[in-house]
Structure 1
């Protein structure tokens, strides 16, 4: 006779959704205030609120991941629940696609519509004369109406190195997945470990890129629409790489504990989906932000 949890397991009430909501609220408020303070060059509490939100989010992830792992290893999940998880992860990644689509849309609007209009295109000569006399439509826009000038971030160097790193990390993660499906535990562990290392190297190099942008190029959040879109797209992508790396680290320790089998490893598969998505976004970002 089937037990009820084999049909569909419904977990007990959890505090983690509300903790996650509070964390995201603090991150949103803190990030917004931090950007405003950085743009104006004024001290404030935005950075502390942002840090509190990140710490709260990490606590939520640890607690929620632990509950999920305990439920999975206790045999409480069923095939129907597995299908629900796949649908949930698919919708989550779709929401992330829309998230970045909005940011790429802002970049497209600035480059293809707003900047040409300011330059007098499409019979907008008066717009040019009234709003920004003498403005020349070009991208990257390396000057602002207030007279702030900057240098554009080139595609070669750190951006290209980071692109190669993320592309290689997708390959190593694929071979880790293959090792799991073929029950080659050594290949699984090594390839997953290399993927995590590549993700960490990417993040370190992105920090180095930001230092280079601020100290040597004068490219900051105060650098007009070019600086705003540059840091918005690369910064949010870096946040996603950070989250993806944390997920892979959790999966790595689960692999060491022998939690996954060739037939039962959706948690690993979901983490791989997310990482490949982040890699695809970076390739698009590299092309439209750095190259074109």
Structure 2
């Protein structure tokens, strides 16, 4: 597994990918390398036929097109690295096409559902105040959950009303923060975080009960709990407030390029998926309002 360790180190150090992303590469490539091992083949010896056999194996296991496409993308990146490092002479993934994906629209909460969700934390308690500040900040900025949880106190500028966010590929962006989120962030910092903090040197903005940085899993449990309490029956994911943020902005006339910049998408086509959602809303409104629709 030496070559895999080298590749994962390259992803983390040279490309600056997040720990979660590197772990995803590890999982997919360990699956692939295990399959090759069963065929008596080392990764450096794999041919295009061997990779196609792995993809067929996944299909026989009823793996979704999205899963197969993700695994092939990981394998492709791996072999491009090996070629670049001179460990192989030819890239066996060249000319391989990814499985065709159905376009899956992200789940989005309505404005009313978001307001209901955000009203659940009890701000009279330290934990409730922290949760309120987190949910408001997430919906106000459209940050990824991992981006929000990696914030330190110095990244949030309460006076000027913006947050400095480090996104994928270590790309930094400055995101404006609305007044409601700023107000609860101020309250959390002044009378919530100080009670949670156990060490003066801790810089993390959002802390758990033990005074250390809140984890993604911890946030996921918090979000699910509030969604349940709010009576929201839609399946909730950690990205739900990000998707809702983007959709609600576009529904209210925001420019697509502005939303792209705020979300930190490298390509505007990634952002365009939200226009399909807002067009669907327009169609609903049209059909309800037009007498001959």
Comparing both structures, which one devotes a greater share of its residues to strand?
A: 2
Query: Scaled by the length of structure 2, what TM-score is found?
Result: 0.26
Query: Scaled by the length of structure 1, what TM-score is found?
Result: 0.26
Comparing both structures, which one devotes a greater share of its residues to helix?
A: 1
